[in-house]
Structure 1
Amino acid sequence: MDQSVLVAIARFPDRVHAIEELARNNEDFRSLCADLADAEAAAVRWEHSSLPVSAARCAEYRELARDLAAELAATLDRHLK
């Protein structure tokens, strides 16, 4: 299974089956999972950075990850209908 899909599953462990199904059949969903994984990874990198802008960049990527997770949740909700 793709690492980015595992990130989505970690975020929504109660929706494993829906995530796996959408990831198998929907390229846009896989792309959304990849974007979430990238945002979370970037936040972690900035969190460990010693650069003066690190706190601001970390916050930006955390916010982006929250927004992407909300979009992912909305996609999952639509899938259930």
Structure 2
Amino acid sequence: MYRNLLVAVAHFPDRGHAIEQLARTNEEFCTLCTDLAEAKAALLHWEQSSSPVKDDRILEYRSLMNELAAEVEATLDRYR
């Protein structure tokens, strides 16, 4: 679980403690952080790819990461 939180903490370094605390008690938040980590891994994969669809996938995963990061932030704000 902690590994999946690292991407969220890297995205919101000033809220690392809040991310860790909320992850201990909120399974949905943990899933959201896992989704963000998986999207980041996929983005990194496509950035290294030589596939002809590379640019499209990069755009898709950047967009997904932005959406997930917004959800992480909104969840953190709700549990302040």
Inter-partner Cα distance in structure 2 for 1:62 and 1:40: 8
Name the amino acid aligned to 1:53: V
What 5-or-longer segments of structure 1 have no aligned partner? none
Give the CA RMSD over aligned residues. 0.9
Inter-partner Cα distance in structure 2 for 1:40 and 1:13: 16
Q: Percent identity?
A: 59
Partner of 1:76: 76
Q: TM-score, normalised by structure 1?
A: 0.95
Q: TM-score, normalised by structure 2?
A: 0.96
Higher RCO, 1 vs 2 (CA within 8 Å, ≥6 residues apart)? 2
Partner of 1:30: 30
What 5-or-longer segments of structure 2 have no aligned partner? none
Q: Aligned pair count?
A: 80
